[in-house]
Amino acid sequence: MGSLDALWTATSGLQAQSAALENISGNVANAQTPAFKQTDTAFADLVTPPQVSETVQWRSVLTNGRQGSIGRDPVNTYMAIGGEGYFTVAAPTGVSSAGQPTFASSVSTFTRRGDFLLKNGYLVNGSGDYLMGAQIDPVTQATSGTLQPLHFDTSTEVPNLGVLQSLSVSSAGRLQGTYSKGQTVDVASLPVATFPGQGFMTQLSGGTFAATAKSGPPQYSNASKVVGNSLEASNVDVADQMTTMIQAQQAYSAGTRVVTAANEMMLTITGLTL
């Protein structure tokens, strides 16, 4: 390996460690974000004949399969998933003439962030995503066959039940509504989405993920339990991230010294001076 090769190899190492530091900074910044999934950095060497490591490859690795701790919360509409899976959510694409959000019929994303609050009849989390589920008729208990952004009328009186007063999650993982006449009934089911290859999902902003060809389409079931009055914390271990950051800083510093040494060798060879 010549001095030019050493310069090239060291530069690739600096780029890789910069990427690692970028991921670490994002992880630490979101350590308190509900259900945030940290991004790790994986490295691999590129070897050229005769068995000399030339450069380093890096890639970001999702940890969306690693659950954060679940803690209790007094807010009735906060929820978490115990086990694998995701809530299905939708982002509004516009506003109707009546002032209601509109949604693309075929676009949905997935999240474990469950800090949902009732907003204009919809359950919206801290990232602005609208919870989707199968609506249940409060009178007949018939369940809608399709997933849709859940909407609840809090002003119209329902026969024999009265006006919807509040929402909560039942022990069976369903949304329940408590009405003004004192009854509590199911108002929506919350199927949990799982993916055969969840590690291949695409990470979006706000703690959401999108399905890809490699992840496979969502498979819905109630195998993973939706837990009410609960919230999943991020899966970031700050102490571990600090240790990894120190290692990345040391590797970056060593790389800069290699660049300096290679540059000095090249100047010597060419007979140039700074």
pLDDT tens track for 228-258: 999 999 999 999 999 988 988 888 787 777 7
| DSSP SS3 for 28 | helix
50 with 118, same domain: the answer is no
Band the pLDDT of 5: cuts 50, 70, 90: low
Measured distance CA(1)–CA(104) in Å, rounded: 56
182 sits in the region (left: phi over 0; alpha: psi -120 to 50; else beta) called left
98 with 216, same domain: the answer is yes
Total structural domains within the chain: 2
Whose tokens are 């939708």? That residue is 90
**177, exposed or middle or buried, with CB in 10 Å at 0-12, 13-18, 19+?**
buried
38: its two tokens: 């940290």
Measured distance CA(256)–CA(40) in Å, rounded: 23
Band the pLDDT of 107: cuts 50, 70, 90: confident
Q: pTM of the entire structure?
A: 0.82
End-to-end alpha-carbon separation of the chain, Å?
Answer: 24
Whether the Cβ atoms of residue 152 and residue 158 lie closer than 8 Å to each other: no
Helices 3-29, 238-270: inter-axial angle, 10-degree rounding: 160
43 with 114, same domain: the answer is no
Strongest mean pLDDT among 58-67, 207-216, 253-262 = 207-216
Q: Any idea of the CA torsion for 93, 136, 84, 37, to the nearest 10 degrees? A: 30
Strand partners, 244: none
136 with 180, same domain: the answer is yes
7 with 94, same domain: the answer is no
- 64 located within any domain: no
Going by C-alpha positions, the residue among 61, 20, 78 that lies closest to residue 233 is 78
Structural domain of 21 = 3-59+236-270
222: its two tokens: 């109630």
Whether the Cβ atoms of residue 69 and residue 243 lie closer than 8 Å to each other: no
121 with 16, same domain: the answer is no
193 with 211, same domain: the answer is yes
